[in-house]
Amino acid sequence: MATKILMPMPDFPGDLPEFERRFADEAACAEYLRAQRWPRGFRCPACGHDRGWTNRRRAVECQSCGHQTSLTAGTVLHGTRHPLRLWFRAMWWVCTQKTGLSAAGLKRILGLKSMQTAWTWLQKLRQAMVRLEREPLQGRVEVDEAWLAGEKPGKVEGWRSARVAVAVEMDPGDGEMGRIRLLDITRSPDRLMLGFIRQEIFPQATIETDAWPGYEILAGDGYRRVRLAETDDPAHPLPQVRRIVTLVRRWLLGTHQGRVERRHLQGYLDEFVFRFNRRKSPQVGLLFQRLVSQGTQVQGRPYRQWAGHEPSGKARPGNR
């Protein structure tokens, strides 16, 4: 079983007017951030004392020893000089827009000065979205790979040449699609596909697959396999997988106008999964709280790392 993390008590604005009222200034945002970061209450890392006040420098100052603990260090807001209010609004809009936002859209809504900033913020928020996807899929799960462009790419470049592994959990109640997972497996399709299944699907699950012989090895892990097709051509994926790939392609072409770099594709896939898996959630505010809460658990990578000027040091944790 995946380990459960401690979630803060539900506490979120119900709609935009409520959001604007509640997070009207930096102090309100800082208090909220503090509550999400330390759901059990703050404890001074220097002396263990449990009382502290949130100061104007985005830090909690220990009432006993005076040690200051940054609210933003080590989070998605790491190193930011922008107001917390602006970040909160970014998170709110990303959660509440049905099809998400492009960098241009975020720049416009927040009045940011540069596209680079808007784009980097979205990338950082995607880091936090991955972390929300931790409970493996179970029950009946359709798994297949597909060309993101629909058919085997010819001379196209960028994300259109990508090959993607898709897993779709089937809801036992209504037979509809449940949660999904996506992974860019272009680099090494066979190896990455098997790793994807082991990471994202419970071993007791029944996987519904095409005829690729590579799946046979998974019987040793406990997976039950049902073969749904006689071929294993990524140009002809299984029906639910095809539906998902079509939606992803439409989203990349629509919201992002197709302007997605190949090496950043996985972040977009993570965002798609995040939104898709919560498409039936009636409370967008809860999504917002989750994103803030998870955002305190992962350190945002700066632009120069996304842009590839500097190795990130660590491999990404996977599409979890």
Residues that bind Zn ion (CB under 5 A): 44, 46-47, 49, 62, 64-65, 67
Of 73 and 115, CB closest to Zn ion: 73
Of 61 and 232, CB closest to Zn ion: 61
Of 69 and 289, CB closest to Zn ion: 69
The nearest distance, CB 32 to Zn ion, in angstroms, is: 22
The nearest distance, CB 57 to Zn ion, in angstroms, is: 16
The nearest distance, CB 33 to Zn ion, in angstroms, is: 19
Of 51 and 82, CB closest to Zn ion: 51
Of 65 and 156, CB closest to Zn ion: 65
Rounded Cα gap, residues 106 and 118, in angstroms: 6
Report which DSSP code applies to 187.
Answer: T
The nearest distance, CB 44 to Zn ion, in angstroms, is: 3
Of 64 and 281, CB closest to Zn ion: 64
Is residue 21 helix, strand or coil? helix
Assign residue 66 a region (left: φ > 0; alpha: ψ between -120 and 50; beta: otherwise). Answer: left
What angle, rounded to 10 degrees, do the helices at 84-96 and 115-132 form? 60
The nearest distance, CB 295 to Zn ion, in angstroms, is: 25
The alpha carbon torsion through 313, 91, 170, 254 (nearest 10 deg) reads -90
Instruction: Please answer whether residues 261 and 39 qualify as being in contact, where contact means their C-beta atoms are separated by less than 8 angstroms.
Output: no
The burial of 268, by beta-carbon neighbours within 10 Å (0-12 exposed, 13-18 middle, 19 or more buried), is given as buried
Phi, psi of 52 (to 5 degrees): -165, 155
Query: In the structure, how many helices (H) and strands (E) does the chain have?
Result: 10, 8
The nearest distance, CB 63 to Zn ion, in angstroms, is: 8
